[in-house]
């Protein structure tokens, strides 16, 4: 794709039908479809720097609100947030946009959603880009058993999120303050120093936010940006977002037919050197020759934390557009 394409039109908001009921999306540009899937606790807005860059490079860039977030539907049933449902939402978006196939790119939980979309529906998703969370094929031990064994006397945050209402009771009285702390805890320029208590774990009887840094926002996050994120969660509550974590055992059962499956489509991985997802899952990255045989590029960004496409917007845009240009038409 040429980077000298005419200036793209402004981004537009749409709502399309899906198995969830509706999916809200933001669209910019024209050309091959690139579907952008956010993670926790974010929204389509986390791709605000990529939408115009991809549009200018000649792509139809579409960032969705995952079900449970923003203006997308928020089913009441916890089981409605299982992975296979989210995959079908993504397929429904592609179809609603009048396309047969798309490249899918995800960050954090969105990376796992994107990867599983590529595994389950290779007929629709012709290439996959993963940011922050490496690909690990379905299978292995039951997730809840693994998480319960982590942390010793402390509780891993994924386990802390399991009981409906528990994390909501911590977050919802002060959504903006909690989000500010969570974003700062995982950002390279504001995360706790080495040796400090790990913000991914909760002391017995404590709260996750007890270990969040306070006092300043990370460089990538303005007060206005924080207002956008906070306003969405203040309106919707946190249950829809947290319900993704509450389906990991269901996913383990639902995806059993895909245990050990590689992603054979062209793929991309971008990790942050200071992101726990990259370090905890180093073995998954080392296994890429077997699990991502179509891997085009794997990049670890020095000095970068978890919020990759926001912390290092220009570098990520360059990597993404370069990778997209390398894909078969």
CA distance 199 to 146: 19
Phi, psi of 86 (to 5 degrees): -70, -35
Calpha distance 171→105 (Å, rounded): 28
Which candidate, 97, 95, 108, places its Cα nearest to that of 69? Answer: 108
Give the catalytic positions in this structure: 108, 306
Other beta carbons within 10 angstroms of residue 281's beta carbon come to 18
Q: How many CB atoms lie within 10 A of CB 194?
A: 5
Residue 134's Cβ-count burial label (10 Å; 0-12, 13-18, 19+) is: buried
Bridging pattern class, strands 12-18 and 21-28: antiparallel
Any idea of the CA torsion for 224, 226, 231, 232, to the nearest 10 degrees?
120
Q: What does 104-169 look like in DSSP terms, one character per residue? A: EEEETHHHHHHHHHHHH-TTTEEEEEEESSPP--S-SS-HHHHHHTTTTTSEEHHHHT-STTHHHH
Token pair listed for 146? 């693994």
CB atoms within 10 A of CB 264: 12
Buried b (16+ CB within 10 A) or exposed e, 30-40: ebbbbbbbbbb
């Amino acid at each position: 794709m040429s980077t000298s394409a005419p200036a793209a039109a402004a981004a537009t908001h749409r709502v399309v039908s899906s198995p969830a009921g509706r999916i809200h999306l933001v669209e910019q540009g024209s050309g091959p479809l690139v579907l952008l899937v956010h993670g926790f606790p974010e929204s389509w807005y986390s791709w605000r720097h990529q939408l115009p860059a991809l549009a200018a490079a000649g792509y139809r860039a579409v960032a969705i609100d995952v079900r449970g977030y923003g203006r997308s539907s928020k089913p009441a049933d916890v089981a409605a947030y299982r992975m296979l449902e989210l995959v079908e939402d993504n397929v429904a978006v592609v179809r609603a946009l009048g396309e047969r196939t798309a490249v899918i790119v995800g960050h954090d939980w969105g990376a796992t959603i994107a990867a599983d979309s590529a595994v389950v529906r290779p007929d629709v998703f012709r290439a996959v880009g993963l940011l922050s969370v490496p690909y690990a094929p379905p299978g292995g031990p039951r997730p809840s058993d693994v998480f319960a064994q982590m942390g010793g006397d402390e509780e891993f945050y994924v386990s802390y999120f399991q009981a409906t209402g528990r994390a909501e009771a911590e977050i919802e009285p002060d959504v903006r303050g909690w989000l500010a702390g969570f974003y700062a805890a995982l950002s390279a320029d504001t995360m706790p120093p080495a040796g400090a208590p790990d913000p991914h774990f909760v002391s017995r009887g404590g709260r996750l936010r007890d270990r969040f840094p306070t006092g300043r926002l990370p460089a990538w996050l303005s007060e206005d940006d924080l207002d956008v994120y906070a306003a969405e969660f203040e309106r919707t509550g946190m249950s829809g977002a947290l319900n993704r974590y509450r389906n990991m055992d269901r996913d383990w059962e639902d995806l059993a037919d895909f245990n050990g499956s590689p992603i054979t489509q062209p793929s991309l991985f971008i990790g942050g050197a200071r992101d726990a997802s990259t370090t905890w899952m180093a073995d998954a990255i080392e296994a890429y020759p077997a699990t991502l045989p179509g891997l085009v590029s794997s990049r670890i960004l020095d000095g970068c934390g978890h919020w990759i496409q926001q912390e290092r917007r220009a570098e990520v845009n360059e990597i993404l557009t370069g990778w997209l240009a390398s894909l078969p038409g």
